Amino acid sequence: MLTRRQVLGFRVRAQQLDRESDALADTAVLDIGAQDTGPDGGLWALAVRGVDVPALEDADLATAWTIRGAPNRYRRSDLPAIAAATAPFSDADAGTRIYDAAKPLKAAGIPNLTALDTIATAMRSIVTEPMVKGELSTRLTAVMDPPYVPFCRPCDATHLSEMPFRLAALRAGLELQAGTSPPVLQPVTGLIPTDEVPERFDVVRAYLRLLGPATPKMVAGYLDAPVTDVQSRWPDDAVEVDVEGERRWLLPGDVDRLDEPPDVTRLLGPFDLFLQARDRPLLVEDPARAKDLWRTLGRPGGVLADGEIAGTWRARKSGAAVTVSVELWTPTDRGAVTEQAERLADFRGLRLAGVEISA
């Protein structure tokens, strides 16, 4: 029987949170995507895994809307494989991923995958140079048939629904200009998805490799896909293991890598992959603390210490300085926390004004 400590230790090592420096090419989280939400998004996720972010060239990375419609950072050279790997598995899967937008399509007899391809074709014809999302949305609304552009009550307007818009963008060969708000989309020169997904980028295997041991339901929750689709793509070589009485699975090469967590401290961004696991009670057992860490709005980052989420943190910028406020749940090396706060300030190009630690 595996313990939760062994599982946490495995994930810390699998996600390379214990390394001090290494190359972009060897950064495992980029195989599934480093979510680029907020000021401490994808690049900070790379920095805490030892990537020399200031040394990166613009051509090294690309940003695209992929899993759950979130913006994710990838190695640019991997985009053809990523476009294929992150596409819906089936028409039913596409319907699940686009939420309520599937209803008017179904009523009109339009398959969900056909709809995404139709939207992608229109996007491709419109975006021939960098274009702000709002302008693209307006121009799409003018050319799409009614089932694609339902009335939106919050906006009091008729326009393309958000999730089909996002999930069609990479199908259209469009990427996001990094750091733009509102988002700016632009064509990726010569992007053609691969015919077959290399094993390294298969999203089910990647989840098991980086966030295992896991169940099909956990992987489906991460992808916003039906469990049946995930089960149909479950690796034949997956090995069943017992995690404190629950059946889960790992890839065969990872079974012997389960061990106690390394003693490292990191300030994880609010949407860091380590925090994206769909077994949240294993990460944070206390419901009140979990509710604070994974709040819908104003989500804090997580303090990783000795394999555990030991608290939360927030950064407050004032001029050219930043103050990092930390709430610790368990006894933690405060010197290590301060060191990581200094690292964050340096990453942001700011002076660290102070570290406020409460427990």
pLDDT tens per residue, range 66-118 = 999 999 999 999 999 999 999 999 999 999 999 999 999 999 999 999 999 99
- For the segment 25-53, what is each residue's pLDDT rounded down to a tens digit? 999 999 999 999 999 999 999 999 999 99
- For the segment 276-293, what is each residue's pLDDT rounded down to a tens digit? 999 999 999 999 999 999
The pLDDT value recorded for residue 199 is 95
Residue 42, SS3 per DSSP: helix
Residue 78, SS3 per DSSP: helix
pLDDT at 151 over 90: no
The pLDDT value recorded for residue 58 is 85
pLDDT band at 157 (very low <50, low <70, confident <90, very high): confident
- For the segment 160-173, what is each residue's pLDDT rounded down to a tens digit? 999 999 999 999 99
The pLDDT value recorded for residue 145 is 96
**For residue 195, how many C-alpha atoms fall within 13 Å in the half-sphere facing its CB?**
0
Amino acid at 129: E
Angle of helix 133-143 versus helix 112-126 axis, rounded to 10:
120
- Cite the DSSP H helix spans in the chain: 4-14, 42-47, 79-85, 91-97, 102-107, 112-126, 133-143, 162-171, 203-211, 216-223, 227-232, 280-283, 287-293, 334-348
- For the segment 112-137, what is each residue's pLDDT rounded down to a tens digit? 999 999 999 999 999 999 999 999 99
Which tokens hold the place of 138? Answer: 């307006």
The pLDDT value recorded for residue 325 is 98
Distance of CA 108 to the CA centre of its chain: 33
Residue listed under structure tokens 């339902």: 150
Average pLDDT over residues 265-280: 98
**What backbone phi and psi angles, to 5 degrees, belong to 32?**
-115, -20
Question: How many beta carbons lie within 10 A of that of residue 28, not counting itself?
Answer: 17
The pLDDT value recorded for residue 49 is 97
pLDDT at 273 over 90: yes
Question: How many beta carbons lie within 10 A of that of residue 88, not counting itself?
Answer: 22
The pLDDT value recorded for residue 333 is 96
Cβ(107)–Cβ(124) under 8 Å? no
The pLDDT value recorded for residue 180 is 94
pLDDT band at 179 (very low <50, low <70, confident <90, very high): confident
Interatomic CA distance for residues 313 and 328, integer angstroms = 9
The pLDDT value recorded for residue 10 is 97
Burial class (CB in 10 A: 0-12, 13-18, 19+), 231: middle
What is the average pLDDT value for the chain, to the nearest integer? Answer: 96
Average pLDDT over residues 230-236: 98
